[in-house]
Amino acid sequence: MISEYQVADLVPHSGRMSLLTSITGHGEDWLSAQVVITKDSMFADSKGVPAWVGLEYLAQAIGAFAGLQERLNGESPKLGFLLGTRKYTCSADYFLLGDQLELKVIRNMQADNGLSAFECHLQANSYTATASLNVFQPEDAEQFLRGGK
């Protein structure tokens, strides 16, 4: 399924911190997105973008998935938090200028308290990255940040 949604419709990040280029598809428990690496990409240096930034690309794809769920329920996207990752592996040290990264995030688990786990994949040219990410999306992010329950 091709997505009718733009990144800004689904992810609460703005300006240069909005790292996804486009939403390319979605389903009941997954979302695919794309990131094009340019000289103006956040975190880019003369070699490209360090591969560790792939974690943030995948986290923002999860944010887009959560934003899509909110939109489908007639609500606005909410702030979420990356709690941690297990086994982030990438076969490259850098994503090179001009690379087109294909991302896919698949929800494996979602609890009633806002905790979720995702299987994540990133692919471009001759390299790949994978990770398992745990995220948390509270009902009220502002209250959560203030230390409330």
Going by their DSSP bridges, the two strands 127-136 and 81-90 should be labelled as antiparallel
- pLDDT (tens digit, 9 = 90+) per residue, 42-82? 999 999 999 999 999 999 999 999 999 999 999 988 889 99
Residue 149: predicted pLDDT = 60
Asked if pLDDT for residue 2 goes beyond 70, the answer is no
Asked if pLDDT for residue 14 goes beyond 80, the answer is no
The answer to whether 61 touches 129, Cβ cutoff 8 Å, is no
Asked if pLDDT for residue 26 goes beyond 80, the answer is yes
Q: Which runs of consecutive H residues, i.e. helices, occur in the chain?
A: 7-10, 54-72, 141-145
Backbone angles phi, psi at 14, to 5 degrees: -140, 170
* Amino acid sitting at position 146: R
- What pLDDT band is residue 34 in, cutting at 50, 70 and 90? very high
- pLDDT (tens digit, 9 = 90+) per residue, 76-105? 888 899 999 989 999 999 999 999 999 999
Domain-embedded: residue 2: no
User: Cα 71–75–80 angle (5° rounding)?
Assistant: 80
Asked if pLDDT for residue 1 goes beyond 60, the answer is no
Here the CATH number for the domain that contains residue 99 is 3.10.129.10
- Domain limits for position 131: 7-145
Asked if pLDDT for residue 139 goes beyond 90, the answer is no
| pTM of the entire predicted model | 0.91
Residue 148: predicted pLDDT = 67
In our burial notation (b when 16+ CB lie closer than 10 A, e otherwise), range 99-138 reads bebebbbbbeebeeebebbbbbbbebeebebbbebbbbbb
Strand partners, 123: 102, 128
Decide: helix, strand or coil at residue 143.
Answer: helix
- What pLDDT band is residue 41 in, cutting at 50, 70 and 90? very high
What total of structural domains would you count in the chain?
1
Domain-embedded: residue 1: no
* DSSP-assigned states of every residue in 95-135: EPTT-EEEEEEEEEEE-TTSEEEEEEEEEETTEEEEEEEEE
Cα torsion angle, 149, 142, 137, 51, sign: negative
Q: Over the chain, what is the mean pLDDT? A: 91
